[in-house]
């Protein structure tokens, strides 16, 4: 019997006709991430184009996004806690940046030619898009949405955002802006280069033009959101929250971590306001209820921003506050401070770890909850240290170890999924997600159990955990390289030295570990291109190994893995983390035998060990100023190990 076709009426979050007929609204299907397809944007020659028109010059070095060498990015404005003022401030930044870029580019951005079949297939049909915007919307739908999900499938990007864009102009322009950023990254990293084109087409379908168009539409998105808020036209808090996620994504993509953090603060502020209003009223508007999906999203963004702050120690106001509770959080206490998702099933849950996980998604939700509560505890612990000279009470230490036990129990219950990651039927995305969750759990366990260590020697007991993080990262990267190589080149691929390539066995993937004294060359994994995803993945755990593991072989291995493929996972940039890890390693190993790299070889003495105390950086220009010193000292105390250095990559 043939199923009756129901025409979508584009109602959010699910089609009304589908709901009434009892069907599942399919929304927009995401592309298969295992396929390496390219959606070309073929340019049409501009009217009145002048030969020799100048455009901003872009670096073709392996940076994640192109660097405008003829101008500099405008500086961030001073942040505030007001939602509207943050958006207005960001709008001014975008407007000033666009004015500067527009004065340098004399070639106008013109419409692209359209494949006739595209008009009948594209869900952008019927939206108030011009031809160019419609093409970028298509790029987002078929490519960017799944890429932003990182190592996990997410309906937020592949369905919710796209459905919301049908009714909200701000979200619509933000989607177009992210599609243009994706094309910028694709153009910068083309290998092999595109087929030859005439000069007029090449000058338009270029990284600089996609980059300009991305900023133009980001400015429109900010402007429309500001206008909607000022005029009271925002139909629900959901719109503000989704816009906040998209703006955070854009700022993280271009490397502006400060504005990314400010956008996370905006979203957290909106959610906190909703909680207060619900406590004062027994009546709730359905549209204002924070959906589980958005609660989970902001939990992860808050955890990511907090972990970033713990690693690099940002000054106020670029600090995410997870807790409003003055006491030390108890891992089992229902009175612990509210979290970004306490209307959902994630961080608000204080229930024990389930005995088993039905799938990766369920395991991820539980781990997110534990990680959020753990970071909230660490935040309060740091506050305790800053105002008290007393020794920590045993009860506080016991609470901290309670988080460690929860993580250990999670890892035990996760073991069946971990062991079955190579089973038949497992997709590449599901397998990668399993690996990332295991790496995240191991990293968090290390950080929990060393929270009370007076010096850096406490990390030495976790040698086996550091080694497991490296092995899991290698497995994931090799899987990526093999999948992409086979998709592009087939079995007869000559781009990679066969001695460096993995080989398949009935059990899975085997590979030889790289030499500990030699870093991976950039072409070791020649098929993996620079990438961006909003969720954290393998970069934070590898950064912990690079800076906290004093096994000289494992540390070099972690740095090599960070440099082997350029990844930006939310705010975490692999090149920056590799540069920081390399400098800390070189400083700690001064005076040691450079040839003694064996496991359990020369140990870095306690008097040489340091921790990162502060870092300022510019991802666009690829520089950082790094400060480090002795662990356990209070601010203002004399530190004979204090050092400062510039880092470039």
Residue 271 CB coordination number (10 Å):
24
Q: Which of 23-37, 89-103, 419-433 has the highest mean pLDDT?
A: 419-433
Helix 292-312 vs helix 539-548: crossing angle, to nearest 10: 20
Q: Would you say residue 21 has pLDDT above 70?
A: no
Q: Would you say residue 547 has pLDDT above 60?
A: yes
Q: Would you say residue 86 has pLDDT above 60?
A: no
Q: Would you say residue 499 has pLDDT above 50?
A: no
Q: Would you say residue 320 has pLDDT above 70?
A: yes
Distance CA 551, CA 582 (A): 13
Q: Which residue has the tokens 């919307």?
A: 137
As a whole number, mean pLDDT of residues 81-92 equals 39
Q: Which residue has the higher pLDDT, 609 or 319?
A: 609
Task: Please give the pLDDT value at position 600.
Answer: 59
> Which of 429, 81, 76, 82 has its CA nearest to residue 254?
76
Q: Which residue has the higher pLDDT, 126 or 610?
A: 610
Alpha-helix residue ranges (DSSP H) falling in 388-511: 394-419, 428-449, 463-489
Alpha-helix residue ranges (DSSP H) falling in 60-168: 83-104, 116-121, 131-139, 145-148, 155, 161-164
Residue 310 CB coordination number (10 Å):
15
**What are the tens digits of pLDDT across the range 221-263?**
999 999 988 888 777 788 899 999 999 999 999 999 999 999 9
pTM, entire model: 0.75
**What are the tens digits of pLDDT across the range 167-186?**
899 999 999 999 999 999 98
**What are the tens digits of pLDDT across the range 372-396?**
999 988 888 777 766 555 577 777 7
Distances (CA, A) of 517 to 136, 143, 557, 560, 591: 44, 38, 9, 10, 17
Average pLDDT of the chain to the nearest whole number: 74
Cβ contacts of 28 within 8 Å, gap of 6 or more? 123, 141, 145, 158, 159, 162, 163
Identify the band that residue 212 occupies on the pLDDT scale cut at 50, 70 and 90: very high
**What are the tens digits of pLDDT across the range 332-348?**
443 343 444 443 333 33
> Which of 409, 429, 381, 419 has its CA nearest to residue 31?
429
Q: Lowest-confidence range among 131-140, 287-296, 449-458?
A: 287-296
Q: How many residues make up the chain in this entry?
A: 649
Q: Would you say residue 47 has pLDDT above 70?
A: no
Residue-range domain boundaries for the chain? 31-295, 321-452
Task: Please give the pLDDT value at position 115.
Answer: 39
As a whole number, mean pLDDT of residues 549-569 equals 93
Q: Lowest-confidence range among 352-356, 449-453, 588-592, 633-637?
A: 633-637
Task: Please give the pLDDT value at position 444.
Answer: 96
- Asked if 179 and 136 touch (Cβ cutoff 8 Å), the reply is yes
Task: Please give the pLDDT value at position 492.
Answer: 62
Phi-psi region of 214 (alpha: psi -120 to 50; beta: other; left: phi over 0): alpha
Residue 293 CB coordination number (10 Å):
17
Q: Which residue has the higher pLDDT, 289 or 270?
A: 270
Task: Please give the pLDDT value at position 419.
Answer: 96
Structure-block tokens of residue 45: 């020659």
- Asked if 476 and 435 touch (Cβ cutoff 8 Å), the reply is yes
- Asked if 270 and 84 touch (Cβ cutoff 8 Å), the reply is no
Distance CA 381, CA 373 (A): 12
Cβ contacts of 88 within 8 Å, gap of 6 or more? 226
Task: Please give the pLDDT value at position 476.
Answer: 95
Q: Lowest-confidence range among 62-71, 312-321, 409-418, 423-432?
A: 62-71
Q: Would you say residue 22 has pLDDT above 60?
A: no
Task: Please give the pLDDT value at position 123.
Answer: 47
**What are the tens digits of pLDDT across the range 436-470?**
999 999 999 999 999 888 899 999 999 999 999 99
Distance CA 88, CA 84 (A): 6
Q: Which of 91-95, 282-286, 405-409 has the highest mean pLDDT?
A: 405-409
Q: Which residue has the higher pLDDT, 518 or 564?
A: 564
Q: Please name the helix (run of DSSP H) or strand (run of DSSP E) that holds residue 215, with its range, or none.
A: helix 207-230
């Amino acid at each position: 019997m043939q199923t009756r076709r129901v025409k979508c009426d584009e109602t959010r979050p699910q089609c009304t006709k589908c709901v009434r007929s009892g069907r599942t609204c399919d929304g927009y299907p995401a592309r298969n991430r295992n396929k390496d397809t390219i959606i070309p944007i073929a340019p049409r020659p501009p009217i009145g184009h002048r030969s020799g028109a100048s455009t901003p010059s872009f670096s073709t070095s392996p940076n994640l996004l192109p660097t405008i060498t003829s101008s500099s990015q405008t500086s961030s404005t001073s942040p505030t806690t007001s939602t509207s003022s943050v958006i207005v401030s960001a709008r001014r930044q975008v407007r000033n940046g666009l004015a500067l870029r527009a004065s340098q580019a004399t070639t106008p951005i013109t419409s692209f030619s359209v494949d006739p079949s595209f008009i009948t297939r594209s869900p952008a049909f019927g939206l108030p898009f011009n031809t160019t915007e419609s093409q970028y919307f298509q790029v987002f739908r078929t490519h960017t949405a799944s890429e932003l999900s990182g190592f996990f499938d997410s309906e937020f990007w592949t369905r919710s955002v796209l459905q919301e864009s049908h009714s909200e102009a701000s979200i619509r322009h933000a989607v177009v802006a992210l599609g243009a950023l994706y094309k910028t990254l694709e153009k910068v990293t083309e290998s092999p280069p595109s087929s030859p084109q005439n000069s007029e087409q090449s000058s338009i379908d270029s990284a600089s033009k996609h980059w300009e168009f991305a900023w133009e539409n980001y400015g429109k998105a900010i402007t429309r959101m500001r206008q909607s808020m000022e005029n009271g036209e925002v139909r629900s808090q959901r719109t503000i929250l989704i816009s906040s996620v998209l703006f955070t994504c854009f700022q993280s993509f271009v490397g502006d971590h400060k504005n990314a953090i400010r956008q996370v603060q905006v979203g957290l502020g909106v959610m906190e306001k909703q909680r207060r209003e619900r406590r004062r009223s027994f009546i709730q508007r359905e549209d204002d209820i924070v959906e589980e999906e958005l609660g989970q999203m902001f939990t992860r963004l808050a955890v990511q921003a907090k972990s970033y702050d713990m690693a690099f120690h940002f000054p106020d106001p670029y600090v995410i506050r997870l807790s409003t509770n003055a006491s030390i959080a108890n891992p089992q206490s229902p009175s612990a401070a509210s979290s970004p998702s306490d209307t959902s099933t994630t961080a608000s849950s204080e229930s024990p770890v389930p005995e088993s996980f039905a799938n990766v998604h369920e395991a991820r939700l539980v781990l997110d909850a534990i990680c959020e509560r753990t970071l909230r505890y660490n935040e309060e612990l740091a506050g305790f240290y800053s105002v008290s000279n007393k020794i920590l009470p045993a009860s506080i230490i016991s609470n901290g170890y309670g988080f460690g036990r929860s993580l250990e129990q999670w890892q035990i219950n996760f073991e069946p999924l971990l062991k079955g990651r190579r089973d038949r039927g497992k997709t590449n995305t599901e397998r990668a997600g399993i690996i990332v969750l295991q790496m995240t759990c191991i990293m968090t366990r290390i950080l929990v159990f060393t929270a009370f260590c007076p010096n850096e020697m406490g990390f030495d007991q976790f040698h086996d955990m550091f080694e497991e993080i490296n092995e899991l990262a290698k497995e994931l990267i090799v899987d990526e390289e093999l999948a992409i190589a086979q998709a592009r080149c087939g079995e007869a691929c000559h781009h990679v030295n066969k001695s460096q390539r993995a080989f398949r066995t009935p059990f899975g993937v085997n590979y030889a570990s790289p030499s500990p004294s030699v870093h991976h060359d950039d072409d070791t994994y020649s098929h993996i291109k620079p990438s961006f995803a909003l969720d954290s993945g393998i970069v934070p755990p590898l950064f912990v190994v690079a800076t906290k593991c004093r096994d000289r072989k494992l540390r070099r291995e972690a740095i090599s893995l960070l440099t082997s493929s350029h990844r930006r996972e939310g705010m975490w940039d692999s090149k920056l983390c590799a540069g920081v890890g390399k400098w800390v390693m070189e400083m700690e190993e001064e005076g040691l035998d450079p040839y003694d790299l064996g496991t359990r070889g020369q140990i870095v003495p306690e008097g040489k060990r340091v921790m990162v105390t502060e870092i300022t950086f510019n991802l666009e220009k690829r520089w950082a100023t790094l400060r480090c010193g002795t662990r356990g000292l209070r601010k203002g105390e004399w530190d004979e190990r204090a050092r400062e250095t510039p880092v470039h990559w």
